[in-house]
Structure 1
Amino acid sequence: MAMPYLHEVYKDSGVPTYTFVKPMEYRKLLVSLRTPGKGLVVEGPSGIGKTSSITKGLEELGIETKITKLTARKAKDLKIIKTIPGDSLDGIIIIDDFHRLEPETKSSIADYMKTLADEESATTKLVVVGINKAGDSLVKFARDLNNRIDTIRFESNPEEKIVELIENGEKALNIKINIKGDIVKEAQGSFHIAQMLCKEICIHGDVLESCKNTTVITTSLELIKQKVFDDLSRAFNEIARAFATGPKLRKDGRAPYLHILFWLAISNEWALDLNQAIRKYPEHRSSVNTVMEQGYLESFLNGEYAELFAECIHYEANTNVISVEDPKFVYYIRNIQWKKFVREVGYKTINFKSIYDFALSFAGSDRDVAEGLFTRLCEEEVSVFYDKNEQHRILAENVEEYLGPIYRSEAQYVVVLLGSNYPRRIWTQFESQQFKDRFGESSVIPIWFKDAPVGSFDSTAKIGGIEFDRDGDFTLQINYITETLMKKLADNRISSNVGKITKSKNNKDDIGVQLTLF
C-alpha cells in the first residue's frame, strides 16, 4: 500500500479514508438504512460526521440498489429535488442540506416520505440530511409523519472518538502529536475541527506525508490556534463583522445582531434557539425579540449579504433557531477577542444600565403616535417598552406588578405622550404615579400634543420636551422625535463611558471603554 500524503489522512473536506471513526449513532444508522421504504432523517451540526457516516454505512451494508445523492446547494440538483414526488426516481435518494429548501419543497418531500412509508415501498427510500431541527422542520409540514420516519441526531462526539480519529492519523503518518489531549478538548466533539487542527500541526512539524521513522511533533496549542485563527480570519472576518453590524451600524443601539453572534459562539450545540436565549439574557430581550418578530433578522440574512452568509449561517424563522453550517466559522467566532471585536465593529458600548432604553406612556387615543415611535425606535435597534409588543408576556400576570418596575426604574427614559385624554385614563394615571419621582432625575421626556388643554400638564412645564401637532406631517414629526430621542440617548451613553474611562485609567486593559461581556 502506498504511503499516504497528509491531505489524504487529516482531511478537512470530503469523506475520510484513514481517519474515519464510527460515531455513537452509527449502528442505529445501519439499521435504518436497510429498512425498506421508511424515511430517514439525519440531523446535527456540520462537521460532526453525518454525510461521511451515511457513505461509509452504505459501503459496509453492500447495498446494491441505485443511490442518488443530491444537495440543495447545487442548482441542477435543486431542480431534481423539486420534481422528486412526481418523478420516477427509485433506489435510495439522499437529499443533503435539506434545511436550505423552500417551505413548499419541504412540504412535498414530507408528503412523499409519508406515502412511501405507508406503502412500505421496496423500491424507493428517502434519506434527508440537514443541520439541527431538520426532523422538526419535516414534521411541521406533515404532523402524522413523526411515526413514519427514523430521526437520527448526531450530537457532539465524545472525547474517546476524537482520540480515535487522531490516533488513526498518527498511525497512518507514523507520527506522535505531543498535544493530542489539548486537541481533543479544543475540538469540542467535532471531527472536522480535530482534522483541521491536526493537519495544521503536521504542516507546522514539516510532516507532509507518512514518515519512514516514527516522528514526534512538538508544538504548543496556542501557536497552532493562532495560526489557524489567522488563516480563518481571511475567510470569516468580513462575515462576522457584517453580521455583528446588522443592516446598518447603529452605534448607540443595543447591538442585537452582535449579541446573537456572541451567544452562538458560546453555544455548545452550534445552534441557538433564540427564544431560549432571550430567556437566559433578559436584558437583551426587547431588542433581540424585535429583530425576530418584526422579520428584520430574516430579511437581513436574505438581503444584501445573503451570498456572504449562505455558506456559514442558517436561520429557520419558523422555529427561531439560528445555526452555523461551516464548522470552521464556529471555530473562528469561538476564538474572537470579543472586546477588541466590539470596538472594531464600531459600537460605543454593549453595557446597559437598564432593561429598556425607552418606555412609552400614552392614552389609547394616541396609540398611532406610540406605534409610529415604537417602529422608528426599533429600527434604531434600541430597547423600547410598548404594551402592544409585550401583550403576550403581560397575559396572566398581575398587570400593576408587571408594569410598575418598568416605569419606576427599568427604563432609562419614560417618554410620555401628553394628549388630551392622558389625564383621564386609569392606566395612564397609574403609570404616571410610578415615574413621577423621576422628573428630578432627568429621566422623563414629555411630548406635548398641541390640542391638549392649556394647564393640563403644568407639572411638566419646567421640563424640556417636544411638541406634537396632529395637523402637521405625521411622518416628519415621528422622525424628528425619534432623532431627538436618539441624540439624547447617545449623549447619555457618551457621558457614562467617559466615567468608565476615568475610573479605569490605570487598568492594563487599554481599550478606551471598559467592555464586560454579559
Structure 2
Amino acid sequence: MKLNLEEVFVTEGVPTFTFVKPPNFNRILLDVRSAGKPVVLEGQSGTGKTTCIKQILKELADQFPTEYLAAREPVDVSRIEEIARERPAGRFVIDDFHRLSSKLQESLADLAKVSAESSNPSTCTKLIIVGINNVGSNLIQLVSDIAKRVGIYTIAPGGEKEIRDLVDRGAEKMGVKIPDVNLIFEEVRGDYWLAQQFCQSICLKAGVMETCDEIIDITFDVADVRRDVVEQLRAAHYPAVKEFCRGKRFRPNNLPYFKLLKAIAESGSSNVELTELANSDPLVRGSINNIKDRRLPILLESKPLAARCFYYNKETKYFSIDDPALFYFLRHLDWEALRRDCGFRELAENYEYDIALSFAGENRDLAKHIANQLLDLDVPVFYDEAFESNFLGKAWTKKFREIFADESRYVVVLLDKHHAEKIWPTFEREHFTPRVADEHVIPIYLDDTKFVGIPADIIGVHFKFDQDDPTWRENADREIVEKLIGKLT
C-alpha cells in the first residue's frame, strides 16, 4: 500500500506508523482507564506528552466521553472554569495546565481530590492534566493529601534507541533507507516532533513524496536540512518573535526582551527560571532583572500574538516556550538579522537602565510614581525598592556606584534641600555629577537649592511637589513623565 509522506512522518496530530511508546505507556494507560483517578503527565516541550495521551485515548476507544481542552485557548479556559465550578461527569484532558491561573489550578486540584475518592465513572469528573516539568509536584502542594491517589508520570525526551525506532519505522513505510540516524538524534535532542519534521524534510529534499516502488538510499546534510526546517517555520513563528522582541513600546535602544529570548535559545532549555538565568549570565542579568517583575507580564498582557507563543508565571518566575517547533526555530535563528529587522541600534554602550532615579526619602512617593509610570511605558528604570530582592547580600554602596556612574543611560535626580542634606543622595550625587558634562543628568528642580557640579542653567523640569494637591500625579505625568519619554524616543 502506498502512503503519502505526511501520513508517515507526521507533524500534526498523532502518528499512525511512527508513534514510539514511552517506557511507562502501559502504566499511564491503566491509570487513564481507572475511573476517578487523576492523571498528571509532565515533561519538557517536545517529549510527546500530548501525543501520548491522545494515543492512549485512541487505543482505549471506550464509550466514556472525553473532552480535550488546552489552557492556551481562551474559549477552552472558560470551559475549564465551568468544569471546576460545576464538576460534571466525564473525562477531561486539560493541556498546558501550567498556563492556568493559580486560583483555577487550586480549584482543579480540589476537584481531583474529590474525584479520586469516587469509583463511579457515571458521576465522577476524571481529570487528565498535561503540563511542563513539576506540574505534578505543584498539584500535590496545592492539595497534599491526594499524593497517593494521583498518577504522576514524567515523559522524558527520546533516547537514541527511541529516535532510531521512529526513523526506521518511517523509512520502512516510505521504502527508503536513511543513514546516520545518530546525526538526526544529535540534532533533535530527543524531541519526537522535531524528529518527524526532520525526517519529513530529508525525504522532501530527496524528492520522496510517497512510498517508493523500490528501496532507495537517501543521503542528507544536517546543516542543509536544518536551514530548510527553519525557513519552513519562519512564516508561523517570526511575527510573534519580532513582536515580543520589540516590547510594548518600541524604542531603538530598548533591547531587554530581545536579549532575554536570545539567552533562552542559547541556554538549550525551553523552560527556564529567570532569576537563575540572570544569575548565570552577567551579560543579560540587568535586562532580565529589569523586566521580570513588572514589565514582562505587562508586555504579554498587551501583545496577544506573543502571549500565545510565550508563557511567563510572575509568581514562580518561570518562562516557557511550549511549542517545540518555535524553540527549534529560536535555537537556529539569525539573531543579528532579527536585531536589524526590529530596528534596534547597535550601541557601543550597553546600559542596564535607561533611567536611574536619585531622590531623598521625603520625595519617595513622587519617585515611585515616576518609576511606575515609566515601567508601564516599558522603560528600563532603576528605582531602589523594586530591586532590593535582586541585590540581597550585596553592598548598596558598590551597586549604587555602578548604577549611577556607569549602568544607566540617564540619571533623573529630584533636587531639593533634602537631596543636599541626606547621606545616600549625596553619595549618589558624587558618582553621577561627572556625567553632567556629557548631558546624561536630567534635573527635576523641586526647590531653589544650589548644588556643586550641577549648574543652575542646566535645562531640567521645575516641578512643585505638593502631596496635599490631589492633582500632583496628573501634573507629574504631564510635566515629568511625558518629557522623559520624549527624551528617550
Distance in 2 (alpha carbons) for counterparts of 1:116 and 1:405? 56
Q: 1:235 to 1:480 in 2, by over 3 A?
A: closer
Q: Structure 2 counterpart of 1:121, which letter?
A: S
After superposition, the C-alpha distances for 1:339-385 in whole angstroms (9 at most, x for unaligned) are 11100111003664444444322211222342244335435645432
Give the match for residue 451 of structure 2.
Answer: 457
**Correspondences of 1:427-506 after superposition (within 5 Å):** 427-435=424-432, 438-439=434-435, 442=438, 445=441, 447=443, 449=445, 451-453=447-449, 456-461=450-455, 464-470=458-464, 473-479=475-481, 481-483=483-485, 485-486=487-488
Q: Which moved more, 1:477-486 or 1:149-158?
A: 477-486
Deviation at 1:120, TM superposition (A): 5.3
Give the match for residue 492 of structure 1.
Answer: none
After superposition, the C-alpha distances for 1:458-478 in whole angstroms (9 at most, x for unaligned) are 432288452423179432221
Maintained 8 Å contact 1:232/1:332: yes
Task: State yes or no: 1:66 paired with 2:68.
Answer: no
Give the match for residue 419 of structure 2.
Answer: 422
Give the match for residue 229 of structure 1.
Answer: 230
Maintained 8 Å contact 2:5/2:210: yes
Give the match for residue 10 of structure 2.
Answer: 11
Distance in 1 (alpha carbons) for counterparts of 2:442 and 2:321? 45
Q: 1:391 to 1:195 in 2, by over 3 A?
A: same
Q: Structure 1 counterpart of 2:241, which letter?
A: A
Deviation at 1:173, TM superposition (A): 1.7
Task: State yes or no: 1:43 paired with 2:45.
Answer: no
Residue 345 of structure 2 is aligned with which of 344, 348, 354? 348
Cα RMSD after superposing both structures: 3.3
Q: Which moved more, 1:364-373 or 1:342-351?
A: 364-373
After superposition, the C-alpha distances for 1:306-333 in whole angstroms (9 at most, x for unaligned) are 1x34553333333232222322222222
Q: 1:156 to 1:459 in 2, by over 3 A?
A: same
Identity value in percent: 29
After superposition, the C-alpha distances for 1:128-157 in whole angstroms (9 at most, x for unaligned) are 123445335545643554554332232322
Give unpaired runs (5+ residues) of structure 2. Answer: 466-471
Distance in 1 (alpha carbons) for counterparts of 2:118 and 2:348? 58
Corresponding residue SS for 2:50: helix
Q: Which moved more, 1:339-348 or 1:392-401?
A: 392-401
Deviation at 1:227, TM superposition (A): 2.3
**Correspondences of 1:213-228 after superposition (within 5 Å):** 213-228=214-229
Corresponding residue SS for 2:388: helix
Q: Which moved more, 1:461-470 or 1:16-25?
A: 461-470
Distance in 1 (alpha carbons) for counterparts of 2:441 and 2:69? 55
Corresponding residue SS for 1:297: helix
Q: Which moved more, 1:334-343 or 1:25-34?
A: 25-34
Give the match for residue 293 of structure 1.
Answer: 293
Give the match for residue 135 of structure 1.
Answer: 136
Task: State yes or no: 1:362 paired with 2:359.
Answer: yes
Distance in 2 (alpha carbons) for counterparts of 1:133 and 1:156? 15
Maintained 8 Å contact 1:420/1:449: no
Distance in 2 (alpha carbons) for counterparts of 1:267 and 1:153? 22
After superposition, the C-alpha distances for 1:212-259 in whole angstroms (9 at most, x for unaligned) are 321112232233222222222122221221111122221122x12212
Distance in 2 (alpha carbons) for counterparts of 1:446 and 1:261? 32
Q: 1:301 to 1:443 in 2, by over 3 A?
A: same
Distance in 2 (alpha carbons) for counterparts of 1:479 and 1:277? 32
**Correspondences of 1:16-415 after superposition (within 5 Å):** 16-26=15-25, 28-30=27-29, 32-33=31-32, 37-57=36-56, 66-72=64-70, 73=73, 75=75, 79=79, 82-83=82-83, 86-90=86-90, 92-117=91-116, 119=117, 121=119, 123=121, 124=124, 125-135=126-136, 138-139=139-140, 141-253=142-254, 255-294=255-294, 296-303=295-302, 305-306=303-304, 308-309=305-306, 311-349=308-346, 352-379=349-376, 381-395=378-392, 397-415=394-412
Give the match for residue 491 of structure 1.
Answer: none
Distance in 2 (alpha carbons) for counterparts of 1:33 and 1:376? 50
TM-score by length of 2: 0.85
Distance in 1 (alpha carbons) for counterparts of 2:453 and 2:206? 76
After superposition, the C-alpha distances for 1:479-499 in whole angstroms (9 at most, x for unaligned) are 355146527xxxxxxxxxxxx
Corresponding residue SS for 1:152: strand
